Chain A
Amino acid sequence: MSNSFLYRDGSSALHRLDPGIKLCLLAWVVCSLFVFPWQVLLVADAVLLAWSWSVQLGRFISLRLLVMAGPFALALLWIHGTLLPAADRQSFPVLSWHLNYSPTGIGYALVIASRFITLLCASLLFVVTTHPLALLRSLEEMGVPASLSYLLTSPLLLIEQFSRRSHSIRDSQQTRGMNIQGSWLTRLKSLPSLFVPLVTLALSDTGERARVLEARGFRSLTRQRHEPSAEARRRGAWRKTILAVAVLQVVIKLCL
């Protein structure tokens, strides 16, 4: 299952930090995107990237950033800097040709690109250092209902099973003549021969799965009430403080 995730094993401070606190920190970063100027965001990105290199995650995160944010930033500069109409258009000689650009458009592109890179950098650090199941356990500690926990957890546990099943359906259908190598029309016509058995099997399992859960008293279970440990209380206080800072900085920004 770990192949489906971006999560990478490690023992860094961010790996050890409570997933709920990391989620709140991510929410704080999202709020900060609209508060701080693009120069501050880019410096923060540089710091985050430098830290990721120090804990052997730098190569993975930098490559992802390059692939996802590189074309995005270039397209932004091209479209907002040179294509959109602007009053402050200027001409810049490049060899025997003149590049028309708008400083306002370039400035706007830099704002959006820095927000995108920061969002991507922070969220990549979050997903790379947080195992989804650890995050779900933390959400449960934060009081997320059992039904929502099930909804978030069950796909994580089913993905491998469904991948194996779709592989075996594909192989059997190919022996029966399903063509996934022909023209696009042939491939399109072959789609139902894979999806129909996959979905029908999945729906058959659903009834059985629900009956097993009902038999175990899934819906009748009440949440266990017990005094939270000192550690859990401390984590809760940190989460509330981070969220309060995030909200406060947005309020200050709106008031100024």
Chain B
Amino acid sequence: MRLTTHTLTLMGVAVTINIVAALINKWFRLPIYLDCIGTLLVAVLQGPLAGAITGLVTNLLLGIMANPISAVFAPVSMVIGLSAGSLAWIGGFSRWWLALLSGCLISVALMIVAVPINIYMFGGVSGSGSDFFLAWLLHGGKSLYASVSVTVFSSNVVDKTLTALLVWLLIERLPLRIEAQYPFLRHSRRLTP
């Protein structure tokens, strides 16, 4: 993939959407993050590499703006962009139910990267309410790795499936003059001739 000026500007806008989505989420008071909507959008419009770079830049900027710990999880955001772009390439965002399935698969992919980082850097603990769920799983005899995996997956799956569904809806409603600018979109949507 060539990083054209158009792709660069799109990635800049998508990073901004990721950051502003946190503000929008506060208005709706939903128990989800919505912080990777721009990453998924770029992945569907421009492919996995652009999606991965968008995720990486989002977390690095959040790291220097709001929460330094975000930077530690930059590889997780990269994997979200990579997996979303790869799924879009095989048509994972062409139907609403495929978008839901893609959301679940993205959660599995991010879990594979997030769990080792979480355990090695933070002992598997997040300091949030999900630690009670982690404690309950550990008390039930599960290993630390299995418990953290279940906790990470369950706290992300709803967010990522809803985000994937929202991205599917966004690309379905794209005006014709915009969709023509993104050839990669043909994998997710039959382009209008």
Contact = CB atoms under 8 A, between A and B. Distances in A.
B23 to A, nearest CB: 6
Pick from A75, A126, A152, A166 the residue with the most CB of B within 10 Å.
A75
Interface in B163-181: 166, 169-170, 173-175, 178, 181
A130 to B, nearest CB: 7
A158 B125 CA distance: 34
Contacts of A115: 121
Interface in A120-171: 120, 123-124, 126-127, 130, 132, 135, 147, 150-152, 154-156, 158-159, 162-163, 166, 170
Q: How large is the interface on B (under 10, 10 to 19, 20 to 34, 35 or more residues)?
A: 35 or more
Nearest to A170: B27
Nearest to B6: A210
A151 B30 contact: no
B134 interface: yes
Contacts of B29: 187
Contact of A206 (B10, B53, B170): B10
Contacts of A180: 27-28
Contacts of A150: 8, 12
A9 interface: no
B135 A166 contact: no
Interface stretch (A10-18, A41-49, A212-220, A248-256): A212-220
A116 interface: yes
Interface string B111-141: 0000000000111111110010011001100
Nearest to A194: B24
Contacts of B23: 163, 166
B68 A124 contact: yes
Contacts of A68: 67, 69, 127
Interface in A84-123: 84, 108-109, 112, 115-116, 119-120, 123
A166 B25 CA distance: 11
B78 interface: no
Q: Do most interface residues of chain A lie in helix, strand or loop, or is the interface mixed?
A: helix
Nearest to A153: B12
Interface string B3-41: 111101111110111011001100111110000010001
Given A84-B138, A162-B20, A210 B9 contact: yes
Contacts of A204: 175, 178
A203 B162 CA distance: 21
B166 to A, nearest CB: 6
B40 to A, nearest CB: 11
Interface residues of A, number: 69
B60 A159 contact: no
B65 interface: yes
Interface of A: 4-6, 68-76, 78-80, 83-84, 108-109, 112, 115-116, 119-120, 123-124, 126-127, 130, 132, 135, 147, 150-152, 154-156, 158-159, 162-163, 166, 170, 180, 184, 187-188, 190-192, 194-196, 198-200, 202-207, 209-210, 213-214, 218-219
Given A120-B69, A151-B53, 14 more contacts: A79-B131, A80-B123, A127-B65, A130-B64, A154-B15, A155-B16, A155-B19, A159-B16, A163-B20, A180-B28, A188-B162, A192-B169, A200-B173, A203-B174
